Homo-oligomer: A and B are copies of this chain.
């Protein structure tokens, strides 16, 4: 059975482990704080590659940022990683093939192969975290677009410039559906700059009416974006993953979406492939490619 040395390179942490073709982790993942220089990032990758290169068939990297259609390079900059990150020559780090995929795409692939969207002809995955990631799978293939950058959840919720988005534009879905957005929705509704996401979810647990209203507004914004995606893609299912997905009411979202759309009913599901789905998806894609 093939094996992949897998990495997940994010803005704050880098994870690494070895994964087999069934998607099984062959060891407890190692965890590193993401360094602030390109050389230090490369050093982490190289030290792991030196340890496992002989044993594995391929190096698989789930990374922040868009990855090209050849799965060899990160295209353009990624806000959360060190400047110039995309200039790293990943293939130069190993004699084995180094295969990259965007982390949200990789996680969507893991859900499709071993998780919540198994068997779906068309599935949409939304990763609700600091931002909102998107991964769309159609007929057994990731939607990558002409350059590899497809699946960006930056469609507008308002046409008239209300809330700045992390992308530099205004009022994107990410600016209303992310974890960061929940804090901003709370700030706006409660007129309190100091309220945190934690305050909201703790308040909801305690039955605080105001915090429940905040969470409902945020969940409604999430729902509205899913309605649009369901009309565009007519997916079998929409999978919600990421640290914030645990705070939404899946059944309520599903009911509202299916009451509104003009396509056929879709299933809304929580992700099941776990915290390391990015590495698992990248590893499965990489092992298919070699």
Contact = CB atoms under 8 A, between A and B. Distances in A.
B155 A264 contact: no
- Pick the most buried of A158, A262, A264, A266: most chain B CB atoms within 10 A of its CB: A262
A224 interface: yes
Q: Is the interface of A mostly helix, strand, loop or mixed?
A: loop
A234 interface: yes
B224 A154 contact: no
Contacts of A152: 231-232, 234, 261-263
Interface residues of A, number: 50
A59 interface: no
A18 B149 CA distance: 41
A169 interface: yes
A157 interface: yes
Interface string A95-121: 000000000000000000000000011
B157 A145 contact: no
Contact of A154 (B154, B220, B262): B262
A262 B146 contact: no
A265 B144 CA distance: 14
Interface in A217-244: 220-221, 224-225, 227-229, 231-236
A145 B66 contact: no
A144 B220 contact: no
A158 B262 CA distance: 17
B156 A228 contact: yes
B227 A155 contact: yes
A158 B155 contact: no
Contact of A158 (B159, B232, B266): B159
Nearest to A139: B141
A201 interface: no
Contact of A134 (B139, B232, B235): B232
A182 interface: no
A266 B147 CA distance: 10
Given A121-B146, A167-B262, A151 B220 contact: no
A148 interface: yes
Interface string A152-170: 1111111100000001010
A236 B169 CA distance: 21
13 contacts: A121-B145, A122-B150, A134-B232, A147-B234, A148-B234, A152-B262, A153-B232, A155-B232, A156-B224, A156-B227, A159-B224, A167-B262, A169-B262
